[in-house]
Amino acid sequence: MSDYKAPLNDMFFSFFEVNDMVSHYQSLGFDSDLDEDMVKSIFEEGAKLAEREVAPLYTIGDRQGCQLIDGEVKTPDGFKEAYQVYREGGWSSLMHAEEYGGQGLPQSIGSSLTETIGTANWAWSMYPGLSHGAMETLHQYGTDEQKQTYLTRLVSGEWTGTMCLTEPHCGTDLGLLRTKAVPQDDGSYQISGSKIWISAGDHDFVDNIVHIVLARAEGSPEGVKGISLFVVPKFNVNDDGSIGERNGVVTTGLEHKMGIHGNATCMLSFENAKGYLIGDLNKGLKCMFTFMNVARIGTSIQGLCHAQRAFQHSLEYAKDRLQMRSLTGAKFPDMAADPIIVHPDVRRMLMTQKAITEAGRAYIHYLTKQADLIAYGKDEATKKAADARLGLLTPIGKAFLTDLGHECANLGMQVFGGHGYVKDWPMEQNVRDARIGMIYEGTNGIQSLDLLGRKVALDQAKGLRSLTKEIRQWCKTANGAAKPYAKTISWMTRELEWMTIRILMKARKNPDEIGAASFDYLMFAGYMMMGWMWARSVQAAQSKVDGPNAEFYRAKLETAQFYFDRVLPRTRALKKTAMSGGKSIMSLSAEQFAL
């Protein structure tokens, strides 16, 4: 079975024809050099990196895993060498500020690199991937000295970064954290505490790792109001920028995980480690959310990656595997049996993967357009509106796409039958690797609470209404084959607004109503957004079905029909469950759960 092949045709379609990125870049003031040909060349070179350097390490990383030897992490064979190719190619600097050594390209371009490398090998991609959040945090909140010391080396790829949030006794509830920061006379802090589940927390790619650490400064209040953010290097840095003595950061263990074995998920102990405050004291959560939002976009892409890998391999297998004859007569009479792709149930699984993957890709591109507007928008009103839109859409992307990415991974395994369940084929690894996406960066239940309980409820659904208004305005302009789909999606926006009002009204009497409805509410919104992406795809494709690459465009129309016939109807059940209230969820006492 072949290794990963980047789906460049569909990436180009989503990027240029559905999301019109060239006009987008022109509106942001990028020069004419950032045209379609330039962007395509970046995608193509990134695809070569993914296919040639990173994809061959997929199985190796899973089989070998990482090792902790004398307090240092050794990564699987070939991982370190692939990173050197990545760094020498300038990929770490692609979308970061030129003043710190970056290339200054928009995040939307970087997201496609994340997709190709992540689909090729998600475990490997996390090593450079975690650095982007550290870079964004330092860029927004770091001092000039911190930027020169750490940011420039992160941008160049000379060093990598992590985020250190979770502790053994607390996960999402960061107000319980115990890591302490004691101020020193030289303006630094001594950081002491334990952190767990630190992805890429230690490795052998680079000489230094920059940890972004949440801690409570001495004398700060309890709870989230007393949290600050610190930069803590693995090795201290001398005044001339050279690496100094080892800091008090110790890797005490590696997590034994279900999947992503090629990535070192570390337990770290900070033992009077020297750290430096990022931003204002006791404002660490504000700074951290910059990191988290970047990470959540990355995890949204992770869902897409696992769906794409499942689809690619299961499609290839379905074309080759012979099993029985078609119910309508032999399709390949010269063969002993027909390939399983002729059977309707196999087609159901393949079409579900295809429909989710292609709409998910368009959604990611739409999502990262908002990130571009925040960074390069021409006025504060534009930046503010994009920030609100991204805040609304990110939990949908993270939760919906990782849930559906895992579904696709399981469908891919099912296409393989018994072969999918054994390590001789790549499908069981994809299922194991995909499962963490629903837990990362705040579980999907937390994402749904963030969407409904914070993003929607706290601003009285103003951001939601802005989104649904934009969707309805687009739907009014749809024509031809896209028109009936647009009508359905326009109606669904009204449904979502009605659901929102009813749930928030019930929550005034009982706040548990938001928690009871939130997951189904988010999934309803996700299917609606994917439906909008498919309607937009049909609008873009319908005029091209008789021209060059006609089969590609016809497939778009047929896949959209499948989505609206076989996937979007899931929202009918989601509406019913979301609106059923919390009584049946909360009715049992804790004692009644006993066996």
Question: How far are the Cα atoms of 218, 358, 451, 528, 571 from residue 525, in angstroms, in the given order?
Answer: 43, 17, 10, 5, 9
- CA 554/CA 545 separation, integer angstroms: 6
Contact at 8 Å (CB) between 293 and 395? no
Question: Which residue from 129, 103, 532, 177 is spatially nearest to 296, judged by alpha carbons?
Answer: 129
Which is it for the CA torsion 230, 236, 237, 242, positive or negative?
negative
How would you class 160 by CB atoms within 10 Å of its CB: exposed for 0-12, middle for 13-18, buried for 19 or more?
buried
Question: Which residue from 297, 246, 239 is spatially nearest to 272, judged by alpha carbons?
Answer: 246
Residues 6+ apart with CB under 8 A from 218: 180, 181, 182, 183
- CA 235/CA 248 separation, integer angstroms: 8
Question: How far are the Cα atoms of 469, 507, 511 from residue 462, in angstroms, in the given order?
Answer: 10, 17, 20
- CA 1/CA 4 separation, integer angstroms: 10
| Cβ atoms < 10 Å from Cβ of 477 | 10
- CA 13/CA 40 separation, integer angstroms: 11
- CA 220/CA 60 separation, integer angstroms: 46
CA-based max dimension of the chain: 83
Catalytic residue IDs: 441
Residue 455, phi then psi, degrees to nearest 5: -65, -35
The label of the residue with tokens 């895992």 reads 406
